[in-house]
Amino acid sequence: MRFLMLVFRIIPENWHRRFFGLVALYLLLGVFEMLGVASIMPFVALLSDPAALAKSSTGQLFALVSPVPLEQIPVHVVGLVVLFLFVFGNVLGLASMWLSIRFSARLGVRLAGELSLSFFARGLPFLRSQNPTIHANYVVREIDRAVSGGILQLCLIVSKTFQVALVVVLLALVSPLFSAVFGLAAIVMYSLFFRVLRKKMAGAGEAILHATGNATRAATDLFASAKEVLVRGNLNYFVAGLCGWLDEYHHADQVSRVYPMVPKYLIELLAFSMLLSLPIYRSWSGGEYRSLVPFIALFAYAGYRLLPNLQQVYASLSILKFNAAAVEYLGQCLAEARARSASATRIEQFGQSIVFENVAYTYPASDAPALAGVSLAIAAGEKVAIVGVSGSGKSTLLDLILGLVPAASGSIAIDGVELADQRLSWATELVGYAPQAPLILGASVAENIAFGIPADMIDQRRCREVADFAMASDVVVNLPRGMATVLGGDGVALSGGEAQRISIARALYHDPQIVVLDEPSSALDPVLSARLFEKLCATGFNKTVVAVTHNWDVLPGFDKIVLMDSGRLVAIGSYAEVAPLVDELRKREPAEV
């Protein structure tokens, strides 16, 4: 029951009415299926022995509600009523199936969006804790398992149990003993199978959750490292790893498909064996068996309707157990996201300074601090370069400035106002960011520069302006369709330097007040790199610039140089003030000069 409630809580509150509407439709379907089953016995009896029907309990019950005796009603009228119930029940069944598929598809899209937002709400450390393909697998594939294998199965369990109960009550009124024996046998068999197989189903569900993510990661790694694989000649190693995960996935998938179907064949054998045993026994003992025709017709048609529903209840319970891992993970993520308090107060204006006072930060999976005792002031309009050997904490400091991670201790103040939660949360138009290895979307150059702006809302003039500033104009001019040329994916591939220039243009598109750059020129030649930093550090470029760089030759153009080592600030000052330490640093890291 706890797990069923967890499945229900996954459904957003504003979707509860749709869910209960779908359940109500299934319940209505159950009523019509019961009426269809109930109409079979009197119809067959009317065909075979109208006089006997009039004396039966069905005929007497009908006489109470109708002035016309049942045996006087034309057979074709009764037949049309039975046919109507059968046709309407099937139409209702088709409609309920279509609506349930549409419901699960639309809910899956809604929850995929919620799950994506919940991942980002957990912050950068969480996103970095796993391979991006694992997160993508949860959003793209595991959501479908949680919805179709969780929420939809809950709906089917409720509705099909109701339908089974209605038909069983009807059969119990006709033959209590026969119905009790069959019902007890079915319950015992299904319960036994469920107890025996549920652990295997749960284990298979966890295996699929594990295998799909790792298979996706293995496939991504294989094709992303194509050049290295071809050079090393170890393609078989990577393919074998991928096939190993796929084999684990398909083994678990076989369990999920076969195990829920096992009881179906045994229950069908039990039901029809019991049904056929009645006329066989009557005939063998010399008794009259023709009077059993209406009874057999009723139970045969009831079995035709009942057994699939009974099997569906069992299969849905098994599928729920199989998808338990995906459902529980999704429920946990969504519960945390929905319960999460409002994000940090957004900084809408910046006009004076950013001040870090004794700030420290440690990554969740590490014991050693990435930053310790960092005190730094950055004035508005100042050009600041951050330098240091690899692993000195430069990128972590940028993450703090960007507001991607919160400070573990110390204080952060913006324009003299200390932040209560020690985490920067900039309005998006205030900050522009260019990473060392930018993502190039499978979209046009303009869409890559605007990044996240619908194509029909992109300011083409602004795109050209920032492309010119980032010295990407020559890249655009040489492309087949200029700004409309599709990049990445199936489009034009860019070199590392070209991608970095597009990324810098992207960082400037929204005209931010603060520009944060992480090795923005690592793939550029020295001449282009020098020209780029000359523009960024120019007095007329009225923006605050914070850049990590290993291009020592451009450091004299910055107002302030921040030297870092082992997560601490070693020195802060103008280039003239820190030049001796910079020279020492260059000797320690010759490969990055």
Q: What is the pLDDT averaged over residues 10-35?
A: 83
Lowest mean pLDDT among 73-87, 261-275, 354-368: 261-275
Note whether 146 and 114 are within 8 A (CB): no
CA–CA distance from 122 to each of 137, 163, 340, 343 (Å)? 17, 43, 9, 11
pLDDT at 199: 74
Q: What is the pLDDT averaged over residues 148-176?
A: 79
318 and 441: one domain?
no
Confidence of residue 592 (pLDDT cuts 50, 70, 90): very low
30 and 158: one domain?
yes
Note whether 288 and 282 are within 8 A (CB): yes
- 342 phi and psi, to 5 degrees? -60, 150
Lowest mean pLDDT among 33-47, 151-165, 333-347, 400-414: 333-347
Q: Is the pLDDT of residue 129 over 80?
A: no
212 and 115: one domain?
yes
In a domain, 357, yes or no: yes
391 and 264: one domain?
no
Confidence of residue 2 (pLDDT cuts 50, 70, 90): low
409 and 540: one domain?
yes
333 and 470: one domain?
no
In a domain, 346, yes or no: no
CA–CA distance from 206 to each of 4, 25, 194, 301, 324 (Å)? 18, 33, 18, 39, 8
In a domain, 51, yes or no: yes
User: ∠ at Cα 18 (15, 21), nearest 5°?
Assistant: 150
Q: And the tokens for 188?
A: 């015992």
Lowest mean pLDDT among 65-74, 94-103, 172-181, 335-344: 335-344
What H or E segment, with its residue span, contains residue 507? helix 496-508
Query: Which of these three, 339, 365, 395, is where a domain ends?
Result: 339
Note whether 394 and 344 are within 8 A (CB): no
In a domain, 424, yes or no: yes
**CATH, residue 392:** 3.40.50.300
pLDDT at 293: 67
Q: In percent, how much of the chain has pLDDT > 90?
A: 14
Residues in CB range of 533: below 8 A, 6 or more apart: 521, 547, 549, 551, 554, 557
494 and 551: one domain?
yes
Q: Is the pLDDT of residue 103 over 50?
A: yes
Query: Which of these three, 306, 339, 372, is where a domain ends?
Result: 339
Query: Which of these three, 289, 304, 339, is where a domain ends?
Result: 339
Q: Is the pLDDT of residue 29 over 60?
A: yes
In a domain, 545, yes or no: yes
Neighbouring CB atoms inside 10 A of 539's CB total 7
User: ∠ at Cα 578 (573, 580), nearest 5°?
Assistant: 175
Q: What is the pLDDT averaged over residues 384-391?
A: 88
Model pLDDT for residues 484-535, shown as the tens digit of each residue = 988 876 556 788 888 999 999 999 999 999 999 998 888 888 888 899 999 9
Model pLDDT for residues 541-578, shown as the tens digit of each residue = 889 999 998 888 889 999 999 998 888 898 999 999 98
Confidence of residue 105 (pLDDT cuts 50, 70, 90): confident
Give the span between the Cα atoms of 277 and 279, in whole angstroms.
6
CA 170 to centroid of chain Cα atoms: 43
pLDDT at 591: 47
Q: Is the pLDDT of residue 593 over 50?
A: no
Q: In percent, how much of the chain has pLDDT > 70?
A: 86
Helix, strand, coil shares of the chain, percent, nearest 5, are 65, 10, 20
Lowest mean pLDDT among 86-95, 117-126, 465-474: 117-126
In a domain, 345, yes or no: no
257 and 389: one domain?
no
382 and 312: one domain?
no
In a domain, 348, yes or no: no
30 and 53: one domain?
yes
CA–CA distance from 361 to each of 336, 399, 436 (Å)? 23, 10, 22
Structural domain total, the chain: 2
Burial of 177 (0-12, 13-18, 19+ CB in 10 A): exposed
Model pLDDT for residues 277-326, shown as the tens digit of each residue = 777 777 777 766 666 666 677 677 677 777 777 777 877 877 777 777 77
Higher-confidence residue of 423 and 398: namely 398
**CATH, residue 62:** 1.20.1560.10
450 and 332: one domain?
no
In a domain, 581, yes or no: yes
pLDDT at 336: 67
- Average of per-residue pLDDT values in the chain: 80
Instruction: Tell me the β-bridge partners of 377.
Output: 355
* Owner of token pair 């599928």: 319
Residue 471 is part of which domain span? 353-592
pLDDT at 53: 56
Does this model's pTM top 0.75? My answer is no
444 and 532: one domain?
yes
Higher-confidence residue of 162 and 463: namely 463
State the Cα torsion 346-348-349-353 to the nearest 10°: 20
